[in-house]
Amino acid sequence: MLSLTNQVIHCKAAVAWGAGQPLVIEQVEVAPPQKMEVRIKILFTSLCHTDVYFWEAKGQNPVFPRILGHEAGAVVESVGEGVTDLQPGDHVLPIFTGECKECAHCKSEESNMCDLLRINTDRGVMIHDQKSRFSLNGKPIFHFVGTSTFSEYTVVHVGCLAKINPLAPLDKVCILSCGISTGLGATLNVAKPKKGSSVAIFGLGAVGLAAAEGARMAGASRIIGVDLNANRFELAKKFGVTEFVNPKDYKKPVQEVIAEMTNGGVDRSVECTGHIDAMISAFECVHDGWGVAVLVGVPHKDAVFKTSPLNLLNERTLKGTFFGNYKPRSDIPSVVEKYMNKELELEKFITHEVPFSEINKAFDLMLKGEGLRCIIRMDA
């Protein structure tokens, strides 16, 4: 791939001009990378519910015009000043959060919440100079969570790029940029179920099924899927889910149903919906003495978690997680290797594929609740 370092690149990008408006394929200008930045060529990207949420802009600041997208597989085109661990041709996954490797969080073995690069959904510019690298007819187009992958080329801070095995197929591992790693890591890194244990998964969308996949990989013997949509149950069997509970089928709280099914509660639970009632149920359904509940879903900003302190005093543990506790640069390459070693199955998450010119079809599919992940081919 010809590197155009220090030159502006003209390329296609899908621009969101306003809340809920169909994306428009535009010819944009992408400026060269500045200090600690990297310009990458996106080969495959996928649609995550977070993209749709900020495109609809119903519950947060509307930032438009904007180039959305944050799950992708890419190749480095050029690097800016100070970048030493990436070079043109490297295969990378852009990540919506980062790892500067210098702050207290990055130096801690326990945290992945980088002070410099943690997710900021309101920021539409680069950290270095508070300017956008995208423009159209001389006017800036805003970035999204530091990635903006719905463009043939984008500029990303080096701390938000995971360098991966060049043999890994980018049209598969691109989905590890966000949701799949979030669910997988919530189980493997935070809940840590033991072999032969029982795990309840609340919410069987892509993140929840990734959490189930983590439980399957860990050797859990009972994986109980909890969802209000019974249509999701058949698909979930592919991800190791062994039993299903639809809270609508019972007159008692679902945590009581699960406790009865499991002789006092499950060993681990992972909550992936963000609904406060499900969060409380996920905590209250774990066994006293050793049960651990992990919260993954993002609740409404005004939601309040209410439970009796006795549930904690009786030795239940409640944990939260961000991006599955994975550090983007340090840990995501090893998750790619789990796929390469056939420990982790990714193909079953990919249910649709569209060319870049038809990116709005991917939005339509997600709005209808069809499928899990839709791959968008940039060259088509």
Q: Which residues are catalytic?
A: 48-50, 70-71, 100, 103, 106, 114, 118, 178, 373
Q: Is the peptide bond before 253 cis (omega within 30 degrees of 0)?
A: no
3-state secondary structure labels for all residues of 319-364: EECCHHHCCHHHHHHHHHHHHHCCCCCCHHHEEEEEEHHHHHHHHH
Q: What angle do CA 339, 149, 53 make, to 5 degrees?
A: 95
CB 76 within 8 A of CB 92: yes
Sign, CA dihedral 224-228-231-235, equals: negative
Please choose, from the candidates 3, 41, 33, 333, the residue with its C-alpha nearest in 3D space to the C-alpha of residue 166.
333
Tell me the one-letter amino acid at 126.
M
Counted residue by residue, the chain has a size of 380
